[in-house]
Amino acid sequence: MAAMKQQNFSPNVGSFGIGGPFNQGWGSLDNGDATEVVYFQKTLETKAAELSALASKILFRPVKTTFFDPSSLPKDDNRSVVLYQSGLDMQLVLGR
């Protein structure tokens, strides 16, 4: 967490990165189970790569980046509410 803050990332620990478990109990907003950085705005590709490199160094394992387009979700999908209302722009998913 300290290393992330030093690189100007604002970690927000919890399921979905919003500070606590969400009612469906999903892990990754893109339904993946890999260790990866998922970013939700194309303009954040460079920042996602920076976070991925930092996470790879800390975790001693490769951490890939994946773009997930929130507009691909149906409006009644609970993940849509999280993405549009929380201001979440990236998610570091720790897989098994």
Query: What would you measure as the largest C-alpha separation in the chain, in angstroms?
Result: 38
Closest CA to 40 of 13, 70, 19: 70
- Classify residue 85: in a domain, yes or no: yes
Could you tell me the sign of the dihedral formed by the alpha carbons of 85, 38, 31, 95, in that order? Answer: negative
- Classify residue 27: in a domain, yes or no: no
- Supply the DSSP symbol for 56: H
Q: Binning pLDDT at 50, 70 and 90, where does residue 3 land?
A: confident
- Classify residue 18: in a domain, yes or no: no
Place of tokens 């790569």: 49
- Classify residue 23: in a domain, yes or no: no
Domain that holds residue 40: 1-6+32-96
Q: ∠ CA(79), CA(85), CA(90), 5° rounding?
A: 65
Q: How much of the chain, in percent, has pLDDT values that exceed 90?
A: 23
- Classify residue 17: in a domain, yes or no: no
- Please say if the pLDDT value at position 95 is more than 70: yes
Number of separate domains in the chain: 1
Q: Binning pLDDT at 50, 70 and 90, where does residue 79 land?
A: confident
Q: Beta strand pairing status for 90-93 and 36-39?
A: antiparallel
3-state secondary structure of 8: coil
Q: What pLDDT sits at residue 70?
A: 87
Q: What pLDDT sits at residue 47?
A: 92
